[in-house]
Copies of this chain bind each other. A is one copy, B any other.
Amino acid sequence: MGGAEKATEPAASDALANILRAAEVEFADKGFEGAGMKALALRAGVSQSLLHYHFGSKDNLYAAVIRERSRLINEDRLVRLRAIDPAGPGALARIFEALFVPALGPLGGGRAYARIFAGLIAGNARDQALVKEFYDPTAREFLRAIGAALPGVTAADAARIYQFALGVLASVIARDGRTERLAGAGDAVIDDVGLVEALTAFAVGGAEAIAGKTKNPRED
């Protein structure tokens, strides 16, 4: 109700952006099934019909949200990744930073998309298809980089390391206050500045442990 004034507002294709932004929040809060087109439209300040006019279906809208956000994240990831010399010192840490930082920063969409992203790990059929389409190409570049930074590691182990690193990222990205609760402190214990460093340290330590285990023991 109370249609939003549109005379002085930015206008243009405001509705499109509003819908995408509202959809991101709605899908994050309730999940795909739980989100309602009606509530979503209300949040965006448009009619429910407009959602279908622009996106055709709920599935398409969901895919659009993930496509747009993953594009921003993955473009940033690749820019960072390609600036790294895989043979240089500390390459592995920089690779993981390139993987983590874009998802945690403002490009990552904040808590809203973060919840969606973490949910992609659970992986029903719909989400798996989206991951394959929007995330796999970038993932393959990271796999190559990990393989180059850890000479002698098998392709399977590189894939495993990447999978583990994503799991660690997902555990962080959907901040639910549990870690602070378990640590027995308020919310000051775990600051965001140290978070990326801890994430990276953990991932590097884990990756090197796997690489070391796999490598022929005689050669080491």
- Which A residues have a C-beta under 8 Å from some C-beta of B? 29-34, 115, 118-119, 121-124, 128, 131-132, 136, 139-140, 143, 155-164, 166-172, 174, 176-185, 189-190, 197-199, 201-210, 213
SS class, residues of chain A in contact with chain B: helix
Instruction: Please give, as numbers and ranges, the residues of chain B lying within 8 Å of A176 by CB-CB distance.
Output: 123, 128
Bound together, the chains give a CA A61 to CA B183 distance in angstroms of 30
The interface centre, meaning the residue of A128, A155, A168, A197 with most chain B CB atoms within 10 A of its CB, is A168
Q: Ordered nearest first, which 3 A-B pairs have the shortest CB separation?
A: A167-B171, A205-B209, A202-B206
Task: Say yes or no: A197-B179 contact (C-beta < 8 A), given A122-B119, A160-B190.
Answer: no
Does the CB pair B29–A30 fall under 8 Å? no
User: In whole angstroms, how far apart are the Cα atoms of A49 and B161 in the complex?
Assistant: 47
A39 to chain B, nearest CB (A): 13
